[in-house]
Amino acid sequence: MPQPLYLGLMLPPENLLSQETSPYLLQHAANPVHWRAWGAPALEEARARDRPILLSIGYAACHWCHVMAHESFENEATAALMNRLFVNVKIDREERPDIDHIYMSALHALGQQGGWPLTMFVTPDGAPFWGGTYFPPEPRWGRPSFAQVLEAVDAAWRERRDSVVRNTGALNEHLAEIAATTPGPPIAGEDRSRLASALLRQIDRTFGGVGDAPKFPNAPMFRFFWNEFCRTGRTDACDAVRHLLVAMCQGGIYDHLGGGFARYSTDAQWHVPHFEKMLYDNAQILELLSLAHAADPSDLFAQRARETVGWLLREMRAGEDGAGGFAFAAAQDADQEGEEGLFYTWTADEIRGALGEQADEFVRAYDVRPGGNWEGRNVLRRIDASAAASEATLDRARAILFDIRDAREKPARDDKILVDWNGLMIRALARASLVFDAPEWLEAARNAYRTVRKLARDGEGRLAHAWRGRASAAGQLDDYASLALAALSLFEATGERADLDEAVDLARKARELFGDSDGSLFQTAADAADVPGPRPRHARDNATPSGVGMMAEAFARLHHLTGETYWRDACEKLIGAFSGAGAALAMSPTLLCAADLLERGKVVVVAGAREQGADALVRAALTAPDPVVCVLRARDGVDWPASSPAHGRTPVGGSAAAYVCRNMSCGLPETDSAALTRALRQRD
């Protein structure tokens, strides 16, 4: 058979992934499968060969992705079948979340539970018609073998093409419905209370978190609970957040030796994690720890925050430029030497041999059992936090075990830089630096922000989404929204006007690139050329906040900080494009937080210089536990426009003064930081 042509160039019958930068794609570069990366050449090849596309989507730290790769994609016979029947395309879901969203939505429309690896069969024009997740090499667990699936799909394509086309039409109609807006009125306080009550009914009152196994942090939902606690004082919302945090901080989902949280727990008790560590989870959990600690200081939360940032700065630096610049890597793998969790787990004999006389106390405190507490090995979790356990002794024991573990072969790291995930971490570090009195964290946040801006912006100022040696995916709404919020967090922490200007620029560009006439925002830019089917648009949060929700928050915060009605109008239109979803709004807690911020936002204007006592007032404002507090510094010599809350605000009697402003009306100046702290903890 002659080889297919694309723009006059032959696509070779071989695996082409060695040309990519994604660590996940490179993991598959030696497979006997003739993998292609997503894009126009692969679609053209499918059209030329009249073959469906086998689309395999995963990510570098995904355990079951590795399993399917070893069982099927490295198998010569299976690969030969794939190469004969399909055009095979690999996608890194972290690199292309827009494509992943489309096909995961199609899988849900087929009535199947989502997950990765995602295996979809699509027509040469990219329309999905059938799919699943992991398929075993032999029939088991009620699932057909992967080879059986391949042959059945090929037969359907050759013998029942009309049925396949009808199926693609129905799925495309469903995808169009998902991408449609649901206009409605503003989201009022009583709406948020009702939705919070519905969500709180899902809380596991015994072990914390939501639902049963597997159990995820669901950080956007708990951030909304925290907002509701700050707004209304409802203790059930506060208790849900603190219960979750304590359970995760003491459970096996937390790495008690190296710091950082795993992606989720495979059980309801937060005991055995799926061992991969993701940047986005740790960013959002760090923010929750900061908010909860600000309201009611906790030694546990402070220790976990410091250990997690220690892990971040020790193991997750990426894009280092040799001059001190760095951003943060996407993830650490779950597997080591082909076995999940091997790096993180221990036998009782290993621990006793390492700790000697200290072992009894450690074994008791961390649930170490002779036969293991999971598959013959021990996942460390803190079950004895009583005074009987000497923290100094346990600290020494953990240090000994960390050094031993550090000598093991380490799990792989996905060191690509994702703009949206870095934005989440920059923002979390900026807040945590003040709450936990760690100014070096703020410098790390500033450093990461500078590095991301340097690496992930082109000559026209447009963002990339992913970078690893070069940009590998165009920027999406989530990138602009997350980085705008990161810029605003730095502006509030340092008062650097350039950060505010940058946030304004990012928000305006987002409206230009992603905006629709009704004020809503799409996930991908209008000129994206490789997105099949209806242009994706949604306000639903997943493990990360939605781009729509984050951008609505950026618009609201810009309105409060600048006083410009342009940003209020932008926020109201964006929220209004999705506010008619009724009970389904519970799936968009970040959008609900943005509505709360727009309605309740407080701007603390601090007028005066450092030598006049401004820093104490700024710190008091930035460590307020209510996320709707915004901070604006009105230094001498800065010309703030009349619309700004900072316009005309001055020190009092030679001392710095703080003005608490709402709805463009400011209260009397306050010069005492303790009094300001008390004022910001009062509910309106």
Mean pLDDT (the chain) is 93
Residue 665's SS3 state is strand
pLDDT in the model for residue 636: 61
Reduced to 3 states, what is the DSSP secondary structure of residue 660? Answer: strand
- Which residues face 57 on adjacent strands? 91, 118
Tell me which DSSP letter residue 147 carries: H
Residue 613 · residue 630 · CB < 8 Å:
no
At residue 94, what are phi and psi to the nearest 5 degrees?
Answer: -75, -30
In CATH, what class is 5-179? alpha beta
Name the CATH code of domain 189-334+414-600 (choices 3.40.50.1820, 1.50.10.10, 1.10.3210.10, 2.40.50.140). 1.50.10.10
When pLDDT is cut at 50, 70 and 90, the band that residue 10 belongs to is: low
Instruction: For residues 515-531, give the mean pLDDT.
Output: 95
Closest CA to 606 of 642, 580, 558, 640: 640
pLDDT digits (tens, 9 = 90+) for 262-298: 999 999 999 999 999 999 999 999 999 999 999 999 9
The predicted model scores a pTM of 0.94
CA pair distance 471, 482, nearest whole angstrom: 18
Q: How far apart are CA 388 and CA 406, in angstroms?
A: 29
Residue 39 has pLDDT above 60, yes or no: yes
What span, in angstroms and rounded, lies between the C-alpha atoms of 478 and 80? 39
Range with the poorest average pLDDT among 197-206, 309-318, 538-547, 628-637: 628-637
Residue 262 CA, chain-centre distance (Å), reads 13
Across-strand partners of 603? 630, 661
Give me the DSSP letters along 65-105. HHHHIIIIIT-HHHHHHHHHH-EEEEEETTT-HHHHHHHHH
3-state secondary structure of 134: coil
Of the pLDDT bands very low, low, confident and very high (cuts 50, 70, 90), residue 258 is very high
Look at residue 430 in the predicted model and tell me its pLDDT: 98
Q: How far is CA 425 from CA 278, 318, 431, 441, 591, in A?
A: 11, 13, 10, 11, 19
CB 67 within 8 A of CB 73: no
Residue 6's pLDDT band (cuts 50, 70, 90): very low
594-643: per-residue pLDDT in tens?
A: 999 999 999 999 999 889 999 999 999 999 999 999 999 987 656 788 88
Q: Tell me if the bond preceding 185 is cis, omega within 30° of 0.
A: no
How much is the average pLDDT of 329-357? 91
Packed helices 219-232 and 589-600: angle between N→C axes, nearest 10 degrees = 30
- Alpha-carbon distances, residue 53 vs 49, 71, 95, 157 (angstroms): 10, 20, 19, 11
CA distance 553 to 570: 11
C-alpha angle 383-387-390 in degrees, rounded to nearest 5: 85
Q: Where are the domains of the chain?
A: 5-179, 189-334+414-600, 344-407, 602-681
Is a pLDDT exceeding 90 seen at residue 172? no
Q: Count the Cβ atoms, other than its own, within 10 Å of residue 536.
A: 22
Distance of CA 300 to the CA centre of its chain: 24
**Across 417-437, average pLDDT:** 98
Cα gap 677→622, rounded to integer Å: 10
Tally Cβ neighbours within 10 Å of residue 48.
16
**141 pLDDT above the threshold of 90:** no
> Is pLDDT of 63 > 90?
no
- Mean pLDDT, to the nearest integer, of 546-553? 98
H/E/C letters for each residue in 543-554?
Answer: CCCCHHHHHHHH
pLDDT in tens, 207-220: 999 999 999 999 99
Q: pLDDT, tens digit, for every residue of 438-495?
A: 999 999 999 999 999 999 988 788 999 999 999 999 999 999 999 999 999 999 999 9
Query: Residue 378 in contact with residue 351, Cβ under 8 Å?
Result: yes
Q: Which residue has the higher pLDDT, 339 or 260?
A: 260
Strand-pairing partners, residue 143, are 140
HEC-encoded secondary structure of 181-241: CCCCCCCCHHHHHHHHHHHHCCECCCCCCECCCCECCCHHHHHHHHHHHHHHCCHHHHHHH
Q: Where are the beta strands (DSSP E) in 344-481?
A: 413-414, 417-418, 464-467, 471-474
C-beta separation of 437 from 295 below 8 A: no
- CB burial string 95-134: b at 16+ within 10 A, e below: bbbbbbbbbbbbbebbeeeeebbbbbbbbbebbbbbbbbb
What is residue 23's three-state secondary structure?
helix
Assign 394 to helix, strand or coil: helix
The pLDDT value recorded for residue 385 is 72
Give the number of other Cβ atoms within 10 Å of residue 261's Cβ: 25
CA distances from 579 to 546, 548, 601 (A): 15, 12, 19
Q: How far apart are CA 207 and CA 537, in angstroms?
A: 35
Instruction: Give the span between the Cα atoms of 66 and 59, in whole angstroms.
Output: 9
What value does the mean pLDDT take over residues 24-39?
Answer: 96
DSSP 8-state assignment for residue 410: P
